[in-house]
Amino acid sequence: MILLLDLCFREGSLSFPEFVSPIRRIVEKSGGEAETIHYSDLDSLPTGISGIILCGTALKDNSYLEHPDRFCWLERSRIPVLGICAGMQVLARLLGGEVVRAPEIGMTEVKVTQKDVVLGDERIFPAYELHNFGVTLPPGCTELAGSGCCIQAFLSRERPWWGVMFHPEVRNEWVVERFVGVSLSGPAD
């Protein structure tokens, strides 16, 4: 089971079908089952979860950054986590990085600089961006990819946590598919 964490400004918001539902469809298409929960409704990791995806939010929605305490439970888990855009910002903060202004809207070129099981080989690919803020590289993390604007992907060296700044649900579904593959190949928490 893959847990999809909805980071939008409230549960059942108008942003849900835009930022959570497409990820759910990719997970299910990849052979995974998905459970969706709003971040404000969770204090600990449910049982039977093999991987967690922190979904993105609307460009103007940064409310998740005002509630860092709502994500502390993530630090106790050892299962794979993928943070997308807003989710990457949450992971970066938990790992000691900072959220910094770095606006990108639309297609850009992402350069993979470090071969990785989720991001694949070193190369350049086009990706869809929708963010006003990026992150600094947290301590203990490796930058996997970047654009001219900001870090596009990192991986923690201490735990299987990936952050991607681009939105893989647009034209790069393979990122979610590979993450689901990694998650389902390991033990559930």
Binding residues for another protein, rule: CB under 8 A, are: 12-15, 17-18, 21-22, 25, 58-61, 103, 105-107, 128, 130, 132, 169-171
The whole-angstrom separation of Cα 160 and Cα 139 is 14
The residues, ordered by sequence, that sit 6+ positions from 164 with a Cβ below 8 Å of its Cβ are 82, 83, 84, 85, 88, 119, 145, 152, 153, 175
The residues, ordered by sequence, that sit 6+ positions from 77 with a Cβ below 8 Å of its Cβ are 45, 52, 189
CB nearer to another protein: give 160 or 168: 168
Q: Which of 8, 129, 131, 167 is catalytic?
A: 167
Active site residue 85: yes
The whole-angstrom separation of Cα 180 and Cα 27 is 7
CB of 106 to another protein, least distance (A): 4
Active site residue 167: yes
CB nearer to another protein: give 25 or 93: 25
CB nearer to another protein: give 31 or 103: 103
Please list the active-site residues: 85, 167, 169
